[in-house]
Amino acid sequence: MGNDADRYRRFLNGDDNELVMIIDAYYQGLSLYLNSIVKNICEAEEIMQETFVKLAVKKPKFNGKSSFKTWLYAIARNTALNYLRERSRYAENSIDEAFQLSDETDIEQQYLIEERKIQLHTAMKKLNPEYAQVLYLKYFEDFDTDSIAKIMKKSKRQVGDLTYRAKNALKNELERTGFIYEKL
């Protein structure tokens, strides 16, 4: 926009209201663009503000080789990349590294998964031994129906029926104990 380039030149010549008009014109779009880089809208707004502070304080020269918008977004992008570099220098995840946890590891989630496994094994111990055996072979050892039939010395039809009854018995036992399950 040639109009914004003219506004910037007038700002450089001492008219502070022109910078306010530039900020109003680009505030929202620049914030959203920066959010696509840093993936955090609060940080994006801070970087956007820092970009406008650079314009106000350092007053970089606009040479007109590109549009004003392109030039402004390039300054904002460089500010965001500098921010990301600086942020990576400080070990925000130093606590995770100290405990050797990956970013994707959630301690609470792990705990809940382990608790569910304990509840599941406790409920399986209360089942008919054949039910527990068929469920264990199918879901913990990943045996197919043919293999389970050979191991348990039953027909495939019997294994299918046994699996169905075992799943229902396990479901009833888990519901009785208040277990919350996603899929069974």
pLDDT tens by residue, the chain, 184 residues: 468 899 999 999 999 999 999 999 999 989 888 888 888 899 999 999 999 999 999 999 998 888 899 899 989 989 998 998 888 776 555 544 544 544 445 666 777 777 777 887 788 888 888 888 888 788 877 888 988 888 888 899 999 999 999 999 988 888 888 776 555 4
As a whole number of angstroms, the distance between CA 101 and CA 4 comes to: 49
pTM exceeding the 0.75 threshold for the entire prediction: no
As a whole number of angstroms, the distance between CA 7 and CA 13 comes to: 10
pLDDT value for 103: 43
pLDDT value for 118: 80
Token couple for 182? 């996603």
- Report which DSSP code applies to 144: -
Task: Write the pLDDT tens digit of every residue in 103-148.
Answer: 445 666 777 777 777 887 788 888 888 888 888 788 877 888 988 8
**CB-based contacts of 135, cutoff 8 Å, min separation 6:** 124, 127, 163, 166, 167, 170
Give the residue extent of every domain in the chain: 2-89, 107-176
pLDDT value for 163: 92
As a whole number of angstroms, the distance between CA 22 and CA 7 comes to: 7
As a whole number of angstroms, the distance between CA 128 and CA 131 comes to: 5
Angle at 106 between CA 124 and CA 40, to 5 degrees: 145
- CATH number of 107-176: 2.30.30.180, 3.20.20.80, 1.10.10.10, 1.20.1260.10? 1.10.10.10
- Check if CATH label 1.10.1740.10 holds for domain 2-89: yes
